[in-house]
Amino acid sequence: MVNSIQARCPIRIAMRFFGLGAVHLAFAILLGLNAWLHSPPLQAQTRVGYVAIEYARLDNPGATTVIRSMNSTNEVAGGFRTNRGKASSALILLANNGFEDVAGEQGGGNSVAYGINDQGEIAGAYNTSIAQRPFRAVRRVGFQELSLPAGSNGGIAFAINEIGEAAGYVSGTAGIRPVWWTRRGEVQLLQSLGNLTTQALDLNDRGDIVGVSGKEPKAAVLWQRKGGIVHLGTLPGFTHSEAVTISENGTIAGVATGVGEFPNRSRAVLWQPGGRAIQDLGALPGGTDSRARDINNRGEVVGISTSPEGSRAFIWTASSGMRDLNALVSVPGLVMTDALSVNRRGDILVMGHDAGTDAHGTADKHEDHHAARRIFVLHPLP
C-alpha cells in the first residue's frame, strides 16, 4: 500500500539530470500577498503573476535522485534516498511538506516513480537481483508488478495516463523493446523501426504513444492508437530526434540533436498532431541549445535552454515564443535552470539552485554538481 510520511527534517541526498532532492521546506511566495507567506518570510517579486512554492532542497549531492512529472494536483513523482546509506525509494513529493512512499517494502532495494496521473497512480521501476522491473502503484490498492513479454527480464514504465494505462520499455534476450500496459497490467509489444532499440516515453488518454527508436541515428516515433509506428523525422541539418511528450490533442514535443561538427547541438521541437510538421522552438537570446520536457493541452511547452548566463528554465507559447522563466517570476537567491513538467492548469515544475553557483553547460546536463539544487512549483495567477 502507499505509505504517507511527514517530513520533519532536511533530507540530504543527490541528484543527476532530471534529478530532485528530498523535502526541506515548503513555502509560497508572492510580493504583497501576506496570506501566501510562511515563516521564515521570503520576499519574492512576482512580475507576471506566478506564485512560487518550494518543494525541496538538495544540499548534499552524491546519491542518485530522479524526477520527471507532476500531476494536476501538484503531486510530484520521483525517486531519492530518504536516509543516508539507504537505497532510493519511489516517492510522491507533496506540497504540504511531506512525501508518500509509493513502493514500500515491495519496492525492494531501489525504486523510482517516473509518471503520475491525477488519481495519484504511479508508474515506475524497482530493482531486483536480476534487473529493473516495471510497476504501477495505486492508492488504497497497492503495488502491482507489471507483466513482461517472453524474452524479457526487466523494464521501466515511464508514463501513465488517466485511464491507468502505462508505457515504457522491456529488455532481455530480444533487446530493448517498446511496450504498452493495459489498465489490468497486461503487456503489449509495440512496433519498432526494424530491429532497433526502441523506448516508449509518454502516452495520452487516447492511447497515442511517443518515444525514440534506434541509436545511430535516434528517431522520434509515434504510435497512434489505431495505427502503426510513424517516423517523425528531425529538423533539416540535424541527425537525431526524440519525442518525449504528447498532449491530449496529439501535439508532440521533443528534441532534435546533432548538427555537423556540433554533435551535441540540441533544439526543442514541436510536431503537429499525427507528426504532420516539425517546428524549431529556438533557444533563449544568446543561447544555442534547448530541450523540450513537457507540453500541456494549452500548447505551453517547458524545458531547458542555454543562455549567456548558463542553463535556464523556459516556457514557450505560440503567441509569445520562448521566454526565460527567471524573467517572469523572481525569487531572491534562486536561479531556475530547468522546467521539468507543466500540467493542464499551467503549473510548472522547475529546478534551480542558489544564485552565485551557476555553471555554463549544455542544455542536457548541469555542470556544477556541488551546488544545492532547489525544486519549485510555479502557479500562474488567474
Amino acid 370: pLDDT: 58
Q: With DSSP H G I counted as helix, E B as strand and the rest as coil, what are the percentages for the chain, rounded to 5? A: 5, 45, 50
**Number of other CB atoms surrounding residue 227 within 10 Å:** 11
Instruction: Read off the pTM.
Output: 0.83
> CA angle at residue 124 from 87 to 198, to 5 degrees?
120
Cα gap 236→232, rounded to integer Å? 13
What is the distance between the alpha carbons of residues 266 and 200, in angstroms, rounded to a whole number? 20
Question: What strand order describes the sheet that includes 229-231?
Answer: 198-203, 209-213, 219-223, 229-231
* Helical segments of 11-142, H only: none
CB-facing half-sphere around the CA of 261: CA atoms within 13 A:
0
Q: What is the pLDDT of residue 83?
A: 58
Q: Decide if 347 contacts 70 (C-beta within 8 A).
A: yes
| 341 lies in some domain | yes
Spatial CA neighbour of 119 closest among 63, 160, 82: 160
Question: What's the pLDDT score for residue 248?
Answer: 96
- Kindly state whether residue 45 falls inside one of the protein's structural domains: yes
Q: Which of 117, 70, 111, 118 is nearest to 91 (CA)?
A: 111
Instruction: Find cell 507489471 and name the residue.
Output: 146
Q: How far is CA 21 from CA 66, 99, 197, 350, in A?
A: 8, 12, 31, 12
In a domain, 228, yes or no: no
Q: Yes or no: say if 235 and 254 are a contact pair by the CB < 8 Å rule.
A: no
312 inside domain: yes
How many domains does the chain fold into? Answer: 1
- Domain boundaries, position 365: 25-58+291-382
Q: Which residue has the cell 540530504?
A: 12
Segment 74-78 long-range contacts (CB within 8 Å, at least 24 positions apart): 74/343, 74/347, 74/377, 74/379, 75/116, 75/120, 76/20, 76/116, 76/341, 76/349, 76/375, 76/377, 77/113, 77/114, 77/115, 77/116, 77/122, 77/124, 78/20, 78/112, 78/113
Nearest by Cα to 279 from 261, 256, 246, 302: 256
Rounded Cα distance, 149 and 158, in Å = 17
Residue 355 CA to residue 374 CA, distance in Å, equals 11
344 falls within a domain: yes
pLDDT by residue for the chain (382 residues), tens digit each?
444 433 333 333 333 333 333 333 333 333 333 333 333 333 333 345 788 998 888 665 555 678 889 999 999 998 866 555 566 677 787 775 567 777 666 655 688 899 999 999 999 999 888 889 999 998 777 888 999 999 899 999 999 999 999 999 999 998 999 999 999 889 999 999 887 899 999 999 999 999 999 988 999 999 998 888 999 999 999 999 999 999 999 999 999 999 888 888 999 999 999 988 999 999 999 999 999 999 999 999 999 999 999 999 999 999 999 999 999 998 888 999 999 999 999 999 999 988 876 544 455 444 445 567 788 999 998 8
CA-to-CA distance for 22 and 10, rounded, in angstroms? 8
The CA-based angle 92-333-289, given to 5 degrees, is: 75
Q: For residue 340, is it within any domain?
A: yes
pLDDT of 139: 77
**Per-residue pLDDT, 3:** 46
Give the Cα separation of 36 and 25 in Å (integer).
Answer: 14
Instruction: Give 27's Cβ-side CA count (13 Å radius).
Output: 18
Q: What is the per-residue pLDDT for 33?
A: 33
Of 159, 161, 160, 123, the closest CA to residue 144 belongs to: 123
Phi, psi angle pair for 107, to nearest 5° = -75, -5
Q: Please check whether residue 67 lies inside any domain of the structure.
A: no
54 domain-assigned: yes
**Paired residues of 200 in beta bridges:** 211
d(CA 368, CA 23): 21
CB atoms within 10 A of CB 367: 12
